[in-house]
Chain A
Amino acid sequence: MTEMRSADHVPRFPLGILLFVMAIALVGPWIVPFDPQDGNLVDQFIPPIWMKGGSMLHICGTDHMGRDVLSRLIAGARISMIVGFTAVIFSGCVGTLVAITAGYLGGAVDAILMRLTDAMMSMPYLLIGVALAGILGPGIFNLVVVLAVMGWASYARIIRAEVLKVKTLDYVVIARITDCSLARILWRHIFPNILNTLIVLATLHFGTSIILASSLSFLGMGVSPPTPEWGLMVAEGREHISSAWWLSTLPGICILLTCLSANLLGDWLRRRMDPKQRQRA
């Protein structure tokens, strides 16, 4: 019963957090109290405001280079959002295109594209991601390329199944008989029907992308220092874990909250759009 009820209300907490992070990402450069990439070594390792020795100036403290942690967290929101959104858009577009082509055309095209999808999905995810990221080199653009290459297959497989279902519906068949152009059938009749599934997949993929991106940065294969990326901040803080715990902890909490919100929202959307799923956890 609780699941039924929670399925009917928009989850306010996750939605609020996501909107907040997006807003911060948008206005970040204008609200940062200090330069996120430039610090004063005199100010290094100032603890957050609520601890002994904390300063009003640096609410979340400073790192080993004397940079303001709050400013870096704010700037990091922008990077995470850019990476998350572009990764989702790229993989969503490629995946949907493959799915519609394979599902609608069928035959040999379908067979080839789906074997490719199977191959993509049966690879050890992180290992291939790291190898690819290492080969391409660091940088936000390369990071997005890696995420897109790793991400499109799950869209392709799930949406293709939807296309196969929609394709046989009467009105699509009639559209074909009445000589609708292929583009019109795909865009006006097939696409709106798979949109629900696409939105759910994209929301869930958003969280996964942010985690994979920060993991790659953590391993030194994502963006390079001094970029204020959350994963990279965790990695940099690791060396000072025994003296300055906040350096690794705070950016991790940001990643956790963002991904948790995306996952909660995605789960809710899935229940919402598929009534059969409502009874399942």
Chain B
Amino acid sequence: MIRYIFRRLGQMLITLILISAAVFMLVRLTGNPEDLLLSPLASEAERLVFRTVWGLDQPIHMQYWKYITGIFHGDFGTSIYWGEPTISIFFERFPATLELATFAITLSTTIGIAIGVLSATHPGGKIDHFGRIFALAGQSLPTFWVGIMLVLLFSVTLGVLPTSGTGGVAHLILPGLTLGWYSMAAFTRLARSSMLDVLDSEYIKMCRVKGLPEHLVVWKHAAKNASLPVLTLFGLQFVHFLSGSLVTETIFAWPGIGRLAVWAVYNRDYPVVQTIVLLMTTAYLVVNLLIDVIYALIDPRIRYD
């Protein structure tokens, strides 16, 4: 197990170095921040100062080396636009994204699992059919369109929920639904199939034979074993929400990482883009590793070595 964790950590490091190098190179190959941030009338002397201040006058591998060594000292770079450390900009925005992601995951797990389990316990029934259509539609609907349609229905036509911005729970519902929609479908599918598998097993038959009431069989005995794959999906979806809320945050003007990322890419604020990509990928990889480790701890049959 320990060996496995170390091997995975090594792989993570390689992935991170690859990604940071790729983003670093690409970003510098395709556009010059000089042209964007300085006035076209700037003198050659001003340009020289700008290049020296931002280290753009050095060869690219030296710039990368400086960047990497900086990270180990907690220096992720400075935003070209705001002139503040990117790391503090990142953590200024992070709570909003975390709040949205937490709400979305709560929403999608409760609704998704409920529909999935009910589909499994009543196969071929109305809920099962609904769940199947729901799961298929969830996969094929673009997030940005779902968001706009929700706004059209609940804000424009019914006028019950705000279109954008932050505030109380009311402000969370539409973005939460938009972000959670896709995984709600995934949870439905997975909960249904793993519940069906477990309900088919010998020990569940035993529970039924000894006359346990159905709700105890399903929610106490079957749910425990059926929850393992769902737990994996939970972790995956949660990091996915943290790093993938770009569209949702843009639609609802949510002041989080997603909107910051779109803004930074659009305005070629390289250091900010790099920091977001690096930190979000790290979070993604760490959570993936944690899931695999927790999985092995919960289910003693799983061994990675």
Interface residue? A235 (CB, 8 A) = yes
Measured in the bound complex, the distance between the Cα atoms of B133 and A260 in whole Å is: 11
* Chain A residue at minimal CB-CB distance from B12: A122
Mask of A17-56 contacts with B, CB within 8 angstroms, 1/0: 0000000000000000000000000000000000000000
Contact of B30 among A2, A127, A137, A237 (CB under 8 A): A137
The stretch of B39-47, B69-77, B242-250 in contact with A is B242-250
Measured in the bound complex, the distance between the Cα atoms of B14 and A249 in whole Å is: 44
Interface residue? A91 (CB, 8 A) = no
Mask of A117-142 contacts with B, CB within 8 angstroms, 1/0: 01100111111101111111100000
Interface residue? A62 (CB, 8 A) = no
Given contacts A207-B140, A248-B149, A263-B140, 4 further A-B contacts (CB under 8 A): A238-B251, A241-B151, A255-B142, A281-B189
A218 and B247 in contact, given A131-B265, A135-B265 (Cβ under 8 angstroms): yes
Interface residue? B174 (CB, 8 A) = no
Measured in the bound complex, the distance between the Cα atoms of B136 and A133 in whole Å is: 28
Establish whether residues A241 and B142, one from each chain, have CB atoms under 8 Å apart when the complex forms: no
Establish whether residues A122 and B265, one from each chain, have CB atoms under 8 Å apart when the complex forms: no
Q: Which residues of A contact B (CB under 8 A)?
A: 2, 115-116, 118-119, 122-128, 130-137, 207, 211, 214-215, 218-221, 231, 234-235, 237-238, 241-242, 245, 248-249, 252, 255-256, 259-260, 263-264, 280-281
Establish whether residues B284 and A215, one from each chain, have CB atoms under 8 Å apart when the complex forms: no
Across-interface contacts of A116 in B (CB, < 8 A): 18
A281 and B149 in contact, given A124-B284, A219-B246, A241-B156 (Cβ under 8 angstroms): no
Measured in the bound complex, the distance between the Cα atoms of B261 and A156 in whole Å is: 29
Measured in the bound complex, the distance between the Cα atoms of B276 and A119 in whole Å is: 17
A134 and B139 in contact, given A123-B19, A215-B247 (Cβ under 8 angstroms): no
Across-interface contacts of B231 in A (CB, < 8 A): none
* Chain A residue at minimal CB-CB distance from B182: A211
Across-interface contacts of B183 in A (CB, < 8 A): none
Q: How many residues of B contact A (CB 8 A)?
A: 51
A252 and B30 in contact, given A128-B277, A221-B265, A281-B189 (Cβ under 8 angstroms): no
A256 and B156 in contact, given A135-B30, A238-B148, A248-B148 (Cβ under 8 angstroms): no
Across-interface contacts of B265 in A (CB, < 8 A): 130-131, 133-135, 221
Q: Shortest distance in angstroms between A181's beta carbon and chain B's nearest beta carbon? A: 34
Across-interface contacts of B281 in A (CB, < 8 A): 122-124, 127-128
Establish whether residues B26 and A255, one from each chain, have CB atoms under 8 Å apart when the complex forms: no
Measured in the bound complex, the distance between the Cα atoms of B139 and A128 in whole Å is: 20
Measured in the bound complex, the distance between the Cα atoms of B80 and A161 in whole Å is: 46
Measured in the bound complex, the distance between the Cα atoms of B140 and A255 in whole Å is: 8
Q: Shortest distance in angstroms between A91's beta carbon and chain B's nearest beta carbon? A: 17
Mask of B247-267 contacts with A, CB within 8 angstroms, 1/0: 100110000000001100110
Secondary structure dominating the interface of A: helix
Measured in the bound complex, the distance between the Cα atoms of B145 and A234 in whole Å is: 7
Establish whether residues A241 and B148, one from each chain, have CB atoms under 8 Å apart when the complex forms: yes
Across-interface contacts of B144 in A (CB, < 8 A): 214-215, 218-219, 231, 234-235
Contact of A219 among B18, B141, B193, B262 (CB under 8 A): B262
Across-interface contacts of A235 in B (CB, < 8 A): 144
Across-interface contacts of B23 in A (CB, < 8 A): 131, 135
A122 and B261 in contact, given A218-B144, A252-B142 (Cβ under 8 angstroms): no
Measured in the bound complex, the distance between the Cα atoms of B132 and A133 in whole Å is: 34
Establish whether residues B243 and A126, one from each chain, have CB atoms under 8 Å apart when the complex forms: yes
Chain B CB within 10 Å, residue with most, of A125, A130, A238, A259: A130
Measured in the bound complex, the distance between the Cα atoms of B189 and A122 in whole Å is: 22
Interface residue? B206 (CB, 8 A) = no
* Chain B residue at minimal CB-CB distance from A132: B26
Establish whether residues B156 and A263, one from each chain, have CB atoms under 8 Å apart when the complex forms: no
Across-interface contacts of B68 in A (CB, < 8 A): none
Establish whether residues B145 and A255, one from each chain, have CB atoms under 8 Å apart when the complex forms: yes
Across-interface contacts of B261 in A (CB, < 8 A): 127, 130-131
21 pairs of residues in contact across A and B, judged by CB atoms under 8 Å: A115-B14, A118-B11, A122-B15, A123-B284, A124-B284, A127-B261, A131-B265, A135-B27, A135-B30, A218-B144, A219-B246, A219-B250, A221-B266, A235-B144, A248-B148, A248-B152, A249-B149, A255-B142, A259-B139, A260-B137, A263-B136
Across-interface contacts of A135 in B (CB, < 8 A): 23, 26-27, 30-31, 265
Q: Shortest distance in angstroms between B205's beta carbon and chain A's nearest beta carbon? A: 19
Interface residue? B288 (CB, 8 A) = yes
* Chain A residue at minimal CB-CB distance from B273: A131
Across-interface contacts of B284 in A (CB, < 8 A): 122-124
Across-interface contacts of B136 in A (CB, < 8 A): 260, 263-264
A2 and B124 in contact, given A127-B276, A234-B148 (Cβ under 8 angstroms): yes
Interface residue? B222 (CB, 8 A) = no
Q: Shortest distance in angstroms between B286's beta carbon and chain A's nearest beta carbon? A: 11
* Chain A residue at minimal CB-CB distance from B242: A124
Measured in the bound complex, the distance between the Cα atoms of B262 and A174 in whole Å is: 55
A130 and B246 in contact, given A234-B145, A249-B149 (Cβ under 8 angstroms): yes
Across-interface contacts of A231 in B (CB, < 8 A): 142, 144
Contact of A124 among B196, B239, B273 (CB under 8 A): B239
